[in-house]
Every structure is written in structure tokens, then in C-alpha cells.
Structure 1
């Protein structure tokens, strides 16, 4: 049989209530008794009944997690798993459990994310991949329990924001290309309903306008999928005057871009430099390996939990957390090729 609080109490000659208070670090119990209780519990191999404890304290020690992957089959290539790794690590460190909600459109027509969390008695919720056109944003803004949203800023009393410094990330990418001599730099952006798309586009536009080389005809819109990057690359190839480099707003789209240019006999990076944003693991193993802007996705996951736990504890140190990105140089960018494309390639494109 498993050891109970009563067994610990009998061994020490105190009440079960006193043992319970000592194990829960209550202020009305002396430090001396707390030490004795912890030591005895350890000797008896006593394991607290977490379910019973939560019933007594009316705390679930649970955080709900909603991960809206850009496409289900690309989740393993996406940042979702890295975010989740950071969330789980920080939650476990603080004795919290994670409930990952599967999203069914029929269910969401009847219940909001907030209602789903309340049904599971979650003390907070984390969202990543939340779109600006999501029908439940209003209820998220008015949530009565703490929320952390990765990459989407929403005003709300109990809403926290965690993201990469996107402006800095874009500038790191463009500084690198500029230093290699590139002046005609195209951009492939994500869909309009992702807040990061707007931030990265604004940063790209501002950077090139400052240098008086911005050309809106070099901006193309994808949807963060590999196929959309591929299709945008095909459109770029049809331009009368090609760019010498492309800044791609996600690594997944950059994979499609590289595939399209290689199929069309471009030599990479000699004929076209390509830089991504995210630092997904597969980018290191493709040919050429992808130069990119690395996000600390694990760190963002950790901070999303920390901000929620701070609110639960009544600590309001901050509601926003921006993590610094870093430039990761690999093989997909090179010094600008003033010699343009090889004659054979030109003929193929015409």
C-alpha cells in the first residue's frame, strides 16, 4: 500500500492537518516542523497525491496550449515543435501540466478557446500562430485568466505578448545582403493575417527606402508554405529585370524558393542569393544550406509560461517580451554577381 499523510503524521506524533500544512509550506507552521515532515516523508517514500492536492487548493496547475500550425503536414518542419519544447520545459520546472487542445472547426463554432480552457480548469493559455482574422480574438482580449500569445500582439488586461524582435531580424538579413553588394533585393512575405508579415514587410520597406532603392514590384506574397515560396519564385523568374537576392519571410517558403530556382538551372548562390527567417532544422541540410535569421523559439516558449505564472503569483513585472534574433550564415548567399546570368540561362528564361 502507498504511504499517506496519516502515516507521516503518526510517525511524527502530529495531526494530518499539520503535515499537510508543512508540505504546502504554510506560514503558520514552524520551519523546524517543516524540516521534520519533509525528512520523514522522504524516508517513508511518501508521494503527494497531486489530484487531491489540487482539489484542496482549487488549483489545477494546468496551462492550455493552442498551436495553429500553418499546415498540418508541415508542423514538424515548422517552429511549433520548438515552441512546444520550451513551453513543456518551463511548465515542468514549475510543476505545471500542459493540455494541448486539438482544434476542430465544428467545435469552435459552439465553443471559444476560453470556454475550452475553463472546461479543463486551465489557469492560463498560450497561443501560437493566431491569425488576426480569428473569430475568437474578442474573447481572448477579455479573458479573466492570463494569456500569452506568441507573435501576435493583442491589447487585453490579462494578455501577454512574446515574440522575436522582427525589425532587428529583418535589418540583420538586409545588412548582410547589402554588405555582399546586393541592391536589388526582392521579398517574399507571408499572408496578410499574420502580424509578423506586416512587421517584416514594414522593416524591409523602411530599410530599402532609407537607401532609396525600394521597389514595390519586388514584393511578393506567399502564405508561409513551401509551395507558396515555390510559386513566388516562378513569378520572380518572369521579371524583366531579376533581383540579385531574395529575403524570404520564413524558412519553409525559402525551401520552395530554392527548389524552384534549382529546377530552372540557376546556380545557387552565384545567380541568386536567398536568405530566410526562422532557422528550422531542415535548412541546415538542404543544398545549398540556408542562410537565415534564427529565432529563439524555445526561449519564446519558456517566456510564454513565465509571464503566465508571474500573473498567477500576482507579479506584474512585464507584459511583453522580445527576444533577439541572430544571423546564421550558411551557403545560400554570395557576393553579388555583376556578370548576371549565364547566356544559356538567359535564353531559357526568355
Structure 2
């Protein structure tokens, strides 16, 4: 592989001149610069990224830390980040945090050594001190979806409370009178907001009881178990709003196992808009988040700060859309 010295020798200039042309730090005579660029092309020389990082240049790498890429919600989010980053010539490093604050802190420590230009976290467990530490070091950070509310960096999520209200109102419009809710882990701000949205609507209904709410873990099995608990308490339930699509899929499975017809006897609505909702039987009604767009927006905000120092310390809530399908018809 060619070295910077090889380029300098072929172009008939000093190593320092080649470095200035590559890093665009000082003005170089156009004719000399052209000689250097021609030598670089001829030798197929690639500047050492680490050396450029040590010189204070951008590395062209951002880190995306997700709770679990196996959750179908997060691949679409990651794709949105990657597509925007790729158009700008940046590489995305992906990590799974498993919602463990210590693991996230380790990622931050290790990736800073690799001169990562910025971080995007979809996490409810990232520590405020880690956010502040990155800010003090001038490393941009954006929080996505489950991210804590903070004034020190941008936070992007959907309007979860409004989306939950859309779901419950839809079930009411479809004739449901006893609507239950399988809610997600309450340490997640997204799950809390969806629970609040549910309560805001059903609290006004005759026959509402807090026992119509059961906890879940944002996975299929907890949705299935949630239906078991609900039917023991309230056999007359005719509508279920699940806090995410995976739990709604689990609810469909449990109802089917018991010979309960969906939507004839019980109508089911999920939340997220993941692609699996189109292949369930029946197809699942869902409140769809703009998942891909959310990831893309996070990348654009991060890149604006990396490239131009523009910091947007704000909480952005994107609109959601109800997609009615056969599970509520």
C-alpha cells in the first residue's frame, strides 16, 4: 500500500505539503495541489483515518446504540440513520445496549477512543452524567424514542400519548365498550405516555376499572400472558389496546388459542407500525410511528452539529397515524 511519503516523492513535494492538501488546512498553490492529487490517484493512496483523527479532523464515523436489534422496531430506525449518514459519506457503528446503563457507558468509553464523531442512543438507561460528559468533550449526541427528557441534547420520539388516544377512540368507534390495555415497562417514557393516553380516554367510560390494565414487557409472550390475566378478571372484554405491536401479536395468539374470534368478539389494536402487522391473521390494526423518518431526522440533527456546530437542544415529537386493518373491522 502506498504511503504519504510515496505520494510526496511522486509529486515532488514535501510530506507536509501532501498533508496540507489532504486536510485542506493551508492554502497550497493550485498547480502543486493538482500534482499531489494526481499522485494520490495514481498510487491509489488512502489517507490514514486514525492519523487524521489525531490531527483533530472528523473521522466520518457515528455510533448508533440500540436496546436490541432483534426487536423489529429498531432495524427500520437503524436504516433511517444509516441511509442519511451514507449519503454524507459517514459510516455507522451499531451496538446493542440491552437497556443496561453500564454497557452504554462502556460503549461510550470504548468508541471515544476510536474517535467517533457523534452518538445516537435509543435508550432509557443512558446516564445523565454520560450525556454531560460527551457534551463537555464537544461530542454531539442525539437521543431517540425511549430517551430521557433532558435539556442538554436533542430528543426525538413520536407523540405516544396522542397515538394511544387514537387507538382507544378507534376501538370505541368500532363498538367496543370494555377496553383493556396491556402496557409496556413503565421505566420507558414511551410506555408511560401510551398508558396515560389510554387512561385519558377510558377514564370517562362507564364500567372502567384499573383492573383492565395489565403489565407487559414489549414482547410477544407478555402480550399472550396479558390476555390470560385480563380474561380471568374481565371475561367480557371486547377491545384490547396493546402498548406495542409485539404484545398485540401475542394477544392475537392467546385469543386464537382460546377460540375467541378477532374482531367479531374482541378487537385488537397495537402500536408502532412494524412490518409484522401486515402478515398476522387477521392483519393487525396499529398506530404507526414514522420509524424510518425518526432515524433519518436523528442522523440529520447529529450531522448538522458535527459539520456546523449547530446544536438543537429540544424534544421533538413526531405525528403518528392510525392504520385500521382487519383486527378491528
TM-score bin (small chain): 0.7 to 0.9
Structure 1 residue 114, shift from structure 2 partner? 3.0
Written as runs of structure 1 = structure 2, the 5 A alignment for 1:194-233 is: 194-209=188-203, 214-233=208-227
1:143 aligned residue: 133
Query: Structure 2 CA distance, aligned partners of 1:106 and 1:182?
Result: 39
Q: What is the TM-score with the length of structure 2 in the denominator?
A: 0.82
Match of 2:60 in 1: 61
- For 1:105 and 1:240, the matched residues in 2 are separated by 33
CA deviations on 1:275-313 (whole Å, 9 max, x unpaired) are 101122222111001111111222222222222222222
User: Alpha-carbon deviation of 1:41?
Assistant: 7.2
For residue 90 of structure 1, what is the aligned residue in structure 2?
84
Deviation of the 1:100 alpha carbon: 2.5
CA contact (8 A) 1:87 1:301 kept: yes
Alignment of 1:55-204 (within 5 A): 55-69=54-68, 75-103=69-97, 108=102, 112-128=106-122, 130-131=123-124, 134=125, 137-144=127-134, 145-156=139-150, 158-204=152-198
Measured after TM superposition, the shift of residue 207 of structure 1 is 2.5
**1:77–1:281 contact (8 Å) kept in structure 2:** no
Q: CA deviation at 1:106?
A: 11
> Equivalents in 1 of 2:258, 2:299: separation in Å?
45
Instruction: Report the Cα distance in structure 2 between the residues aligned to 1:319 and 1:41, rounded to whole angstroms.
Output: 47
Moved more, 251-260 or 169-178: 169-178
Whether the aligned pair in 2 keeps the contact of 1:307 and 1:319 (CA below 8 Å) is no
Segments of structure 1 that go 5 or more residues without pairing to the other structure are 70-74, 335-350
Q: What is the CA distance between 1:199 and its match in structure 2?
A: 0.7
Q: Which residue of 1 aligns with 2:273?
A: 279
For residues 107-152 of structure 1, the C-alpha deviation after alignment (integer angstroms, 9 at most, x for no partner) is 9489644323323322222222x23xx3x51323323322222123
The counterpart of 2:245, out of the listed 251, 262, 268, is: 251
Structure 1 Cα separation of the partners of residues 143 and 118 of structure 2: 11
Structure 1 range deviating more: 47-56 or 142-151:
47-56
RMSD: 3.4
* Residues 184 and 243 in structure 2, CA contact (< 8 A), matched pair in contact too: yes
Query: Is the 1:169–1:293 contact (alpha carbons within 8 Å) kept by the matching residues of 2?
Result: yes
Please say if residues 236 and 242 of structure 1, whose CA atoms lie closer than 8 Å, have aligned partners that are also in contact: no
More divergent stretch after superposition (82-91 vs 248-257): 82-91
Distance 1:142 1:37, change over 3 A: same
What SS does the corresponding residue of 2:281 show, helix, strand or coil?
coil
Contact persistence 1:269–1:333 (CA under 8 A): yes
CA distance in 1, matches of 2:260, 2:111: 50
**Structure 2 stretches of 5 or more lacking a match?**
none
Summarize deviations over 1:45-77 as a string: whole Å, max 9, x none: 8454252443434433222222212xxxxx445
Question: Aligned residue pairs: how many?
Answer: 323
Change (3 A) 1:49 1:261: same
- Contact 1:60/1:121, CA 8 A, preserved across alignment: yes
Per the TM alignment, residue 209 of structure 1 is displaced from its structure 2 partner at its CA by 3.5
SS class of match (1:84): helix
> What's 1:289 paired with?
283
CA distance in 1, matches of 2:9, 2:258: 77
Shift in alpha-carbon separation, 1:156–1:293, aligned structure 2, 3 A: closer
The 1:209–1:62 alpha-carbon spacing in structure 2 relative to 1, beyond 3 Å, is: same
Alpha-carbon separation, structure 1, partners of 2:175 and 2:99: 48
Paired residues of 1:294 and 1:328 also in contact (CA < 8 A): yes
